[in-house]
Amino acid sequence: MKYIFGPVPSRRLCRSLGVDLIPYKHCSFDCIYCQLGATVHKRAERQQFVETGEVIAELESALPCVEADYVTLSGSGEPTLCLGIGELIEGIKELTEIPVAVLTNSSLMSCAEVRKELLGADLVIPSVDAATQDVFERINRPCSGLRIEDILCGLEEFSYEYSGKLWIEVMMVRDINDSDDEIDKIASALTRIRCEKIQLNTVERPPAESFARALTQGALEKARRRFDDRAELIVASGIYQDADGSFHSPAGAGLGAPGIEADCGRVLELLKRRPCTVRDIAEGLDLNINEAAKFVGILKGEGLICAIRREGRAYFFANDGN
């Protein structure tokens, strides 16, 4: 299918049926931690990327064949760049009782039209990775003219307009936004926003930049205590990076999810034969790039594959003996 992928395992949304509204890496940010790699088309102008009727037709065809906990608008770039996202949300809700979630980097939340279009969703998960402009530019590398204070003000307005579930995600990156001062400023900024949860995350899948490193579990716990009681950790796969940079996970984390073992097996068999980027895997196995990134994350967390970096890109290969 062109727009619909999954369901894929999600730490927060369980079985998430993805709806990809944006061509690969059209985004308003170029986040250093992005699992999909560097932004190819950096833009903050909205565009009609998809025909709503085509997406709804695909979804109508897919729904009888799958079990999903959420229909999730996310994909290969920033979904709010897509004009008509509000119309699409309405169309999905007329088609199914499965709740609709939207994952957004928050970049366009200062736009009243975007906020209005998101009101129909059942769950919105915006990201806030900084509270100061300097850190915002270092971690998210936004389009010129985007200001973190405008984004925070837009989120605050949205939180008072919106009646659905609102969870804020904060991606913590070592030596970038994890100082006590920056964490306190993020925590203070989020006191202005009415949300149900503040979800602290860290780098788990191979990032766009090799210097984007994960926090240890202890550092994440310490950061959580600087927020109010809405804060929780969402590195639910159990994969953490230790102080020496190595990963570990409990036995079977991720692979035991229904239907995932076979897909991870396909990826592993490919990587036994040749090193691939996430995009190579997606194209070679006819997967959405988000699916490929998730399976790579699971396999890497299980210690079944390794990564090497060539010319700024991460290539994955099976460990000896696999």
Give tens-digit pLDDT for 34-79: 988 889 899 999 999 999 999 999 999 999 988 999 999 987 899 9
> d(Cα 80, Cα 311) in Å, to the nearest integer?
31
- Residue 209, both tokens: 């930049």
Stretch 77-97: mean pLDDT, rounded? 96
What is the per-residue pLDDT across 202-239, written as a single tens digit (0 to 9) for each?
A: 998 778 898 999 999 999 999 999 999 999 998 644 43
Lowest mean pLDDT among 68-77, 149-158, 235-244: 235-244
Domain ranges of the chain: 4-248, 254-322
Confidence of residue 311 (pLDDT cuts 50, 70, 90): low
pLDDT for 120 beyond 60: yes
- The pLDDT, as a whole number, for residue 315 is 86
* Shared fold status for 4-248 and 254-322: no
Least Cα distance to 245 among 276, 212, 223, 268 occurs for: 212
Mean pLDDT of the chain: 88
Instruction: Give the pair of three-digit tokens for residue 86.
Output: 């509000």
Q: Indicate if the pLDDT at residue 94 is higher than 90.
A: yes
* pTM for the model: 0.83
Worst-scoring range by mean pLDDT, 190-194, 197-201, 313-317?
313-317
List b or e across 132-158, with b for residues whose CB sees 16 or more CB atoms inside 10 angstroms.
beebbeebbbbbeebebeebbbbbbeb
Q: Which two tokens stand for residue 112?
A: 């009243």
pLDDT tier at 103 (50, 70, 90 boundaries)?
A: very high
% of the chain at pLDDT higher than 70:
91
- The pLDDT of 255-266, averaged and rounded, is 72
Query: 3-state SS string over the chain?
Result: CCCEEEEEEECCCEEEEEEECCCCCEECCCCCCCCCCCCCEECCCCECCCCHHHHHHHHHHHHHHCCCCEEEEECCCCHHHECCHHHHHHHHHHHCCCCEEEEECCCCCCCHHHHHHHCCCCEEEEECCCCCHHHHHHHCCCCCCCCHHHHHHHHHHHHHHCCCEEEEEEEECCCCCCCHHHHHHHHHHHCCCCCCEEEEEECCCCCCCCCCCCCCHHHHHHHHCCCCCCEEECCCCCCEECCCCCEECCCCCCCCCCCHHHHHHHHHHHHHHCCECHHHHHHHHCCCHHHHHHHHHHHHHCCCEEEEEECCEEEEEECCCC
CATH number, span 4-248: 3.20.20.70
**Residue 247 has what pLDDT?**
36
Per-residue pLDDT at 249: 36
Domain 254-322 falls under CATH 1.10.10.10: yes
- Residue 311 phi, psi dihedral angles, 5° rounding: 50, 40
Is the predicted pLDDT of residue 258 greater than 60, yes or no? no
Helix axes 278-285, 289-301, angle to 10 degrees: 120
